[in-house]
Amino acid sequence: MKARLLTRVNAFISLLMGVLGFSSCTEQALMYGVPSGDLVFEGKVVNEEQEELSGIQIVRRGGWKDDIPKMYWEEYADTLYTNSEGVYYRKYEGDFPLQYHQITVTDPSGVYASTDTIVTVEYKGSQGWYKGQADLKIDFVLKRK
């Protein structure tokens, strides 16, 4: 008798909570993980006469604060080379969304002087852990040594 009464009371309470809109689940899903984003890194390298330079080395090092010691920049380094038209391109998908990037451009043949710069990128289209996409387009003009 007690068991039947308890079952009916529980059913009534559950019905009442459902009608009033109480639930055991939240509207927003909980997320666990690491932020990610997409980065399109591209550009062109020419000399002072606007001639396209092939085989030029471009090293991108990333960081999340402008005061990070150099050793942390090495952890997020990647090397690209320009093609016959002086163009370099890479799309990083699902990568950690680093805000600061140090770009170093070097001519392996030694004809042109190296140059480097630090740039900040902004990711657009953020949804949850996905921070969106950033476009990093930088063209370089190298000077003869």
pLDDT tens by residue, 2-34: 677 667 767 667 665 666 665 555 555 556 778
Q: Are 13 and 53 in contact (CB under 8 A)?
A: no
Quick one: pLDDT at residue 54?
Answer: 97
| Largest CA-CA distance found in the chain, in angstroms, rounded | 97
pLDDT over 90, % of the chain:
52
For the chain, the domains span 36-142
CA–CA distances in Å: residue 73 to residues 63, 70, 79, 99: 6, 5, 13, 12
User: Of 102, 137, 100, 99, whose CA–CA distance to 116 is shortest?
Assistant: 102
Higher pLDDT, 1 or 97: 97
Sign of the torsion angle spanned by Cα atoms 119, 104, 126, 64 = negative
Q: What is the pTM of this model?
A: 0.72
Instruction: Place 71 in a pLDDT band, splitting at 50, 70 and 90.
Output: very low
For residue 66, the 8-state DSSP code is: T
Residue 21 dihedral angles phi and psi, to the nearest 5°: 95, 10
Please determine, for residue 69, whether its predicted confidence score (pLDDT) is greater than 70. no
Architecture of domain 36-142: Sandwich (2.60)
